[in-house]
Structure 1
Amino acid sequence: PTANHLPESIINYVIRTHECVILNDATREGNFIHEPYIQHNQIKSILSLPLLNQGKLVGVLYLENKLAAGAFTPQRSQVLNLLSSQAAIAIENARLYSNLQKSESRMKQFLEAVPVGIGVLDAAGRVYYVNQRGIQLMGKGIDPSVTPEQIPEIYQFYLAGTDQNYPIEKLPVIRALSGECTTVDDLEIHQNNAIVPVEVWGTPIFDEQGNVAYAIAAFQDITDRKQAEKLLADYHQTLEQQVTERTLLLSQEIKERQRVENALRQSEEQRRLTMDFTHIGSWNWNIVENTTHWNDNHARLLGLVPGEVESSYQAWRERVHPEDIHRVEQAVTAALASHTDFEAEYRVIYPNGNIHWLVGRGRGIYNAAGQPVRMLGVILDISDRKRAEEASILEERNRMAREIHDTLAQSFTGVIIHARTAANKITVDPEKAQAHLAQVQNLAQTGLSEARRSVEALRRPYLLENSDLLSAFKHLTSQLESSTGIKIMCEAIGIPYPLASEVENNLLRIGQEALTNALKYAQATEIRVELIYQSTQCILRIKDDGQGFAIDRSASHNGFGLLGMAERAELIGAQIQIHSAPGQGTEIAVSVNQQENHHEST
């Protein structure tokens, strides 16, 4: 207790009154002679001073002398008063410096979550900070020894389309040191025999006196955009060549085409100029206080009008598609529990009913005990990419449908022709009729085989189209681990060998269902997928360390999607075993006989 080491009444008096207490003989004089600490320790001289900084109490100085009375003379007290003032200033400065460090740490964490490169120069032009995305793009991090003049050479900045280092005076970050805000897209980063075109924004940061304290540069990879611009430029060049070759009779058409071209150029220029860092929606979730703040772009990406709806978790949740909300919330929970970054793709429904695809990324901030206190993140609109993926899948399905149609049409046409001829010859030339009927049989068999092959290609899961079963499972588990944050391991035991197509199809579907169940219901932190290749059988085993469940023997195939897995196992002659108990996780094993697999293949 404090009372065993200090006179609490004196300390509290100084704190309350901000007055100095000096006692020449504390056991005999003053208002504190009955203080238990003084009586017990027989203290002689006492001096206690408030540590004040601009009238604000930041601490208390306490000194005592047990041996001599009057130890704290006026001269000594004057010196101690001076020292206490300096100590108060030092304590306040230390507190302000600590707050500044915390603020800088939060800012760095936010910048690390931003999916664009960020670099900062100090007022002298030295590299002060680079986030991880910036290091990935440049292939090099902070090097304080690099002077401003060396930046293009050291970081391999080149003028687009040339082998010349980018002019130092045109670099946006250097121009920002002069107070300019600039944007360029004619800069390339050369690293590891690769060329990365980037768009760069430079912005000055001013101090309280209006002087440039830092220069910040944001930059992002624009390879896809440059490729699209090149395609458009090539198209323009071809079109202009064709226009030149036309006669004067087509002058009106030429003018119209030129008008369209100019409109396209202006539209592209406007789009390029409006593409900047503000297309990213950012959010800040205070987990302790359960409050959320987002920027205007975040509201727009949710289909909301900035300022009309208050930033809140509920406002975001109301916009997310009902089929996606549980998966996204589960991914956030898993990321915070495992101290990993969060990432998920999901749909939002605009007030007008339109559906947009977003990708959300976030990073947790944790206290000393490892508990999450805050999460920072961003969202981006990926609707165009999703539409392109769906169009690609539809195109492939249409191609397969046309292939089946063309195959059957050709075979059936031949069957009809030979059947008609056989009918005409059946009485006048039975031998030729028999030959035509044999041809009918061959064509029918060929058409049936081709149709089965095409149907099998349609039925085969896309993960197995260009890879084996083990590779398909590794790709699947990698995707699930990335989207959920749950540790998922996949390995083969024994030497892998090919299985019948139908067997691989159903084993993959069973594995997908088992993994889905584990992620949805098990609350697992680790899932293991094993493909065991033995000489007589192949075994698929999925194990998790989740909460498990009680297996009802009378209805062992009900619930958790187990009925579907059992039906698929029965289709390929496989045996399925399920082991689980509350609190002990779940293990599902599917074994298929190698002899049956060989028979299926042949």
Structure 2
Amino acid sequence: MPFKDTRGLDWLIVTVLPESDFMAKINQSIRTTILLCIAALLLGIAICILIARWIVKPIVSVSQSAKALADGAWNQTVEIERSGDLGELARSFNQMAQQLQIAFAKMQSLNQTLAQSETRLQKILESVPVGIVVMDATGRPYYANQKAIQLLGKGVLPSVTPEQIAEVYQLYVAGTDRPYPTEQLMIKRALNGEQASVDDIEIHQGNRIIPIESWGTPIFDESGNILYAIAAFQDITERKQAEKLLAEYNCTLEQQVAERTTALQANEAELRGVYEELRLQEQELRLIADALPVLISYVDANRCFQFINRTYEVWFNRSCDEILGNTVRQLLGEAVYERIEPYINQVFAGQTVPLEAEIPFPDDKRCISGTFIPDFDDNAQVRGFYSLMTDISDRKRAEHTSILEERNRMAREIHDTLAQSFTGILLQIGAAAQVLADDPEATQVHLEMIEELARAGLAGARRSVSALRPRLLEEGNLESALHRIVAQMRATTDTALICETQGIAYSLSTEVENNLLRIGQEALTNAIKYASAGEIRVELVYNETQCILRVKDDGRGFGVGSTPLSGGFGLLGMSERAERIGAQLTIQSQPGQGTEIIVTINRE
């Protein structure tokens, strides 16, 4: 700094300091500032990187999952617990991935189904005896089955254009050497949307000429555009030969027709006479069928009447037009039809079925005996059946009357035999009582006469009882009689018959054993006749207090509640016999589950 005073001093004052003393703290501050700036910069960069990674990480996760989805890994999800746009993006991505998984599973299933369908279709196309060629919308073939390759002599040639088909595959107009016009080929017409067929094409394979018949079918998409066309063709060599033979035969036939026309004209009057005779015979047969007191009908596979005679009109009090076309169920009613339905099922199974039952008619109940005869077609299938039914009500009443008369006769015989014997015994006892005191020797004569009358009455009683008692019971008890009946029936049927006895057999009264034997015999006969069973088991159980007879089969059974006792199965007779001896009759049966008849009686 300058310095001047009054005395004339003019100085320049200079202060000199070492630079190190002056700049030391400044340099230290500068270095500290630079280090702090670098540290702040690094910290800021790190924070920015972390923030950027925090922001970019879910986006990268979405990007990686999207790439994985693109590579076929369908089970990708994004776990982002954020709100806002990224959270919404993650949820949308997860939903999209889930839908893609479902769609891919469906697509795999559809592809598998499509592959199976394609395999089946290809097997079918390869097995059909018809040549099949498929062409795309441009007219180039891309499939031919083995029959087509065999007939054409070549396989699929994708490079062939529609204009080259006739030349490449040697297609000619039948009977000429002219190539078949391309526009007339069925595959070409099918590509134009036309569906038709032709039979004037020949395939030339060397020295061999194969006439074929061809069909063309266009296949459209949903918009009506042609996707591809199918041409089918088959070898008609045999048909052409047959047509040739037929043409030759027609020529010959025309000559023969011309020759025989005259003969036919001459025989026309004779044929008319034969026709008239046949018509008269048919009329006579119809009159005979209408005159017979028998129900004659034909029922078709739908169980509808197609033919009936006049007896139907009389018995059912309906006209022929009212019956024809109706089903058996409609004519007979539900209750009667359920009873005879098993027999109808048997005849449709191919069996000739006899029937005996009581059926209600408009005028009265009739006991009928009939036969169902199956009608077979050419394939041995039942197409209907003939029905012949006769009214046997009078015969049944006569049998019932005959039984009553026989019972009355036996009652009279017993009365005459025993009453006379016991009357004589009483008279001889009275006479003996009178002379007993006076003449003992005469009393001995009367006693001998009483003994003789008693023996005669006993012999007559035994003869009467023997006439009423079954012969099987004469030779033993109920157990042995049942075994003999089963043994006799084994020889007449293929059904397995088993007869068993449980417990120690003991004697029952004659009436009880007689009725039990008749019930068992009736149940066994019905099972053999109607049940169509594989096994029938007869069991006789002797308990201390009861005797039980059980007849069980594994046949078709019937509805117990829907079958009346008078239904033609002997149920009424069994019920009456059980009631007569004070026994309990139980019938257990269901359709298709067999039948079991149980008779229980208390031991005397």
More relative contact order, 1 or 2 (CA 8 Å, 6+ apart): 1
| Greater Rg over alpha carbons, structure | 2
| TM-score for both structures, normalised by structure 1 | 0.41
Q: Please identify which structure carries the higher helix content.
A: 2
